[in-house]
Amino acid sequence: MTHTRYAFIKAQWHADIVDRALDGFQELIPADQIDVFDVPGAFEMPLLAQELAKTGQYAAIACAAFVVDGGIYRHDFVAQAVVDGLMRAGMDTGVPVLSVSLTPHQYQETDHHNAIYRAHFVEKGREAANAALMIGQTRAKLANAA
């Protein structure tokens, strides 16, 4: 069975930037084929991705977050845990789980940096949609060859 629905999970930390990834994703995949889910932050994405994958409803799940160095915690540890968790969700369920998570070491809440990262998230959303579509095409070819 070929799934035509996609899940898009987005962290609400820096939502004004992260939400742009969904804009890019929707440039290639129609909005009516995407179920959107918000979570508080990046750390909450892997569990929801795994739960959504287990439903069997989605061809792929894209997850977007912006993990910045806030000076309070080691953001690189959080980012690594999130990426590892997303990979594990995909490997455990067989559903592609794509990361649109950016972890800049140099981010300041200025208009200049915000504009740069908003644009970058649009591009990364586009790349995730392209990856989701390519994986689906490859899987369809494999199924037809069997």
Question: Residues annotated in the binding site for 5-amino-6-(D-ribitylamino)uracil, as ranges?
Answer: 13, 42-44, 66-68, 99
Point out the catalytic residue in the list 5, 20, 74, 126.
74
Residues tagged in the binding site annotation for (2S)-2-hydroxy-3-oxobutyl phosphate: 118
Cα 35 from Cα 9, distance rounded (Å): 8
CB count in 10 Å sphere of residue 82? 24
Taking alpha carbons only, the member of 123, 133, 114, 55 closest to residue 89 is 55
Q: Yes or no: say if 97 and 61 are a contact pair by the CB < 8 Å rule.
A: yes
Residues tagged in the binding site annotation: 13, 42-44, 66-68, 99, 118
Cα 51 from Cα 57, distance rounded (Å): 11
To the query of whether residue 74 is one of the catalytic residues in this protein, the response is yes
Catalytic residue set: 74
